[in-house]
Chains A and B, each alone.
Chain A
Amino acid sequence: MPSPSLFFAQLFNGLALGSLLALVSAGLTIILGTLGVLNFAHGAMFMVAAYVAWWTMVATQSYVLAALAACAVLVVLGMIIERGIIQFYYSRPPEDQILVTFGIGVVLVEVIRVIFGGISHSMPVPDWGSGIVNMGFLIYPKYRVLALGIIAVALLALYLVLYRTRLGLIVRAGIEDQRMVGLLGINVKRTFLAVFALGSLAVGFAGAVYAPIIAVNPEMGEQLLVQSFVVVVIGGLGSFPGAVIGGLIAGEILTLTTMFNPAYSHVMLYLAMAVVLVLRPQGLFGVEGRE
Chain B
Amino acid sequence: MTGMTRDTAALRWPWLPELVTAAALIVAPWILPHLGFNADIAARILIWGLFGLGFDLLFGFTGLLSFGQAAFYGTGGFVTAYLSTTGVIDNVILCLIVGTLAAMVYGVIIGLFALRRTGLYFAMLTLAFGEMSFFLENSPLSEWTGGENGIAGVPVPSIHLGFLEYEFSSGWPLYGFIAALFWIGFVLARRISRSPFGMILVSIRENTGRAMALGHAVQRYKLAVFTIAAAYGGLAGGLLGVLQNYMPPGAFALQTSGQLVMQTVIGGAGTLFGPLVGATVWLWLRTVLQYIPDIGAAWKLILGIIFILLVTFFRRGLCGELIHWVRHRRAATTEAAADGHAVERQVPETAPAPERESSGPVTLERGRVPQIEPADGTPALEARGLTKHYGGVHAVTDVSLSIGVGELRGLIGPNGAGKSTLFKMLAGEITPTAGDVFLHGQNVSGVGPTGICQHGLSKSYQINQLFDSLTVRQNMLIPILGRNRGPFALDMLRSLGGVERLDEQVDRTLDLVGLSARADAPTSVLAYGEKRRLEIGLALATSPTVLLLDEPLAGMSPAERADTVALLKRVRRGRTMVVVEHDMDAVFELAEYISVLNEGELLAEGTPEQIQNDDRVQNAYLGGMSEDESA
Chain A residues in contact with chain B, CB under 8 A? 32, 38, 85, 88, 94-96, 98-100, 102-104, 106-107, 110-111, 113-114, 222-223, 226, 229-230, 232-233, 237, 262-264, 266-267, 269-271, 273-274, 277-278, 281, 291
Say yes or no: A99-B265 contact (C-beta < 8 A), given A94-B120, A233-B125: yes
Kindly report which residue of chain B lies nearest to residue A43, judged by CB atoms: B254
B139 at the interface (CB under 8 A from A): yes
| Option from B63, B113, B118, B142 in Cβ contact (under 8 Å) with A291 | B118
| Option from B113, B127, B301 in Cβ contact (under 8 Å) with A229 | B127
Chain A contacts for B315, CB-based, 8 A: 96
Chain A contacts for B113, CB-based, 8 A: 274, 277-278
B345 at the interface (CB under 8 A from A): no
| Option from B116, B135, B301 in Cβ contact (under 8 Å) with A277 | B116
Asked whether A263 lies within 8 Å of B139 as measured between CB atoms, the reply is yes
4 cross-chain pairs, A with B, having the tightest CB-CB distances, nearest first: A263-B139, A110-B301, A270-B132, A106-B304
Chain B contacts for A233, CB-based, 8 A: 121, 124-125, 128
Give complex CA distance A102, B266 in Å.
13
Asked whether B298 lies within 8 Å of A114 as measured between CB atoms, the reply is yes
Chain A contacts for B525, CB-based, 8 A: none
Asked whether B117 lies within 8 Å of A114 as measured between CB atoms, the reply is no
Asked whether A281 lies within 8 Å of B124 as measured between CB atoms, the reply is no
Asked whether B129 lies within 8 Å of A270 as measured between CB atoms, the reply is yes
Give complex CA distance A96, B123 in Å.
12
Q: Mark B292-313, 1 if CB is under 8 A from A, else 0.
A: 0000011011011101100110
Asked whether A104 lies within 8 Å of B123 as measured between CB atoms, the reply is no
Chain B contacts for A281, CB-based, 8 A: 116-117
CB distance from A287 to the nearest CB of B (A): 11
6 more CB-based (< 8 A) A-B contacts, given A88-B312, A96-B311, A233-B128: A98-B120, A99-B261, A100-B312, A106-B262, A110-B304, A264-B139
Give complex CA distance A223, B134 in Å.
11
Give complex CA distance A265, B554 in Å.
57
B119 at the interface (CB under 8 A from A): yes
CB distance from B512 to the nearest CB of A (A): 33
B258 at the interface (CB under 8 A from A): yes
Interface members, chain B 34-81 (any A CB < 8 Å): 59, 63, 65, 67
| Option from B117, B131, B305, B312 in Cβ contact (under 8 Å) with A107 | B305
Asked whether A100 lies within 8 Å of B311 as measured between CB atoms, the reply is yes
| Option from A88, A229, A291 in Cβ contact (under 8 Å) with B119 | A291
| Option from B123, B129, B298, B304 in Cβ contact (under 8 Å) with A38 | B123
Asked whether B139 lies within 8 Å of A106 as measured between CB atoms, the reply is no
Give complex CA distance A273, B135 in Å.
15
Asked whether A267 lies within 8 Å of B140 as measured between CB atoms, the reply is yes
Give complex CA distance A156, B136 in Å.
36
| Option from A100, A110, A262, A266 in Cβ contact (under 8 Å) with B298 | A110
Q: Mark B561-580, 1 if CB is under 8 A from A, else 0.
A: 00000000000000000000
CB distance from B72 to the nearest CB of A (A): 16
Asked whether B116 lies within 8 Å of A107 as measured between CB atoms, the reply is no
| Option from B59, B116, B131, B312 in Cβ contact (under 8 Å) with A270 | B131
**Can you show 11 pairs from A to B with CB atoms below 8 A apart?**
A85-B312, A98-B65, A99-B261, A99-B265, A100-B311, A100-B312, A106-B300, A106-B303, A229-B124, A277-B117, A281-B117
Kindly report which residue of chain B lies nearest to residue A117, judged by CB atoms: B297
Asked whether A226 lies within 8 Å of B129 as measured between CB atoms, the reply is no
Give complex CA distance A146, B116 in Å.
41
| Option from B139, B142, B308 in Cβ contact (under 8 Å) with A104 | B308
Give complex CA distance A232, B125 in Å.
10
Interface members, chain B 129-154 (any A CB < 8 Å): 129, 131-132, 135-136, 139-140, 142
Chain A contacts for B301, CB-based, 8 A: 107, 110-111, 113-114
| Option from A32, A95, A107, A230 in Cβ contact (under 8 Å) with B304 | A107
Chain B contacts for A232, CB-based, 8 A: 124
Asked whether B128 lies within 8 Å of A103 as measured between CB atoms, the reply is no
Asked whether B136 lies within 8 Å of A267 as measured between CB atoms, the reply is yes
Chain A contacts for B128, CB-based, 8 A: 226, 229-230, 233, 270, 273
Asked whether B132 lies within 8 Å of A266 as measured between CB atoms, the reply is yes
Give complex CA distance A262, B140 in Å.
9
CB distance from B53 to the nearest CB of A (A): 19
Asked whether A99 lies within 8 Å of B311 as measured between CB atoms, the reply is yes
Kindly report which residue of chain A lies nearest to residue B305, judged by CB atoms: A107
Give complex CA distance A290, B131 in Å.
25
Kindly report which residue of chain A lies nearest to residue B110, judged by CB atoms: A274
| Option from A98, A99, A222 in Cβ contact (under 8 Å) with B254 | A222
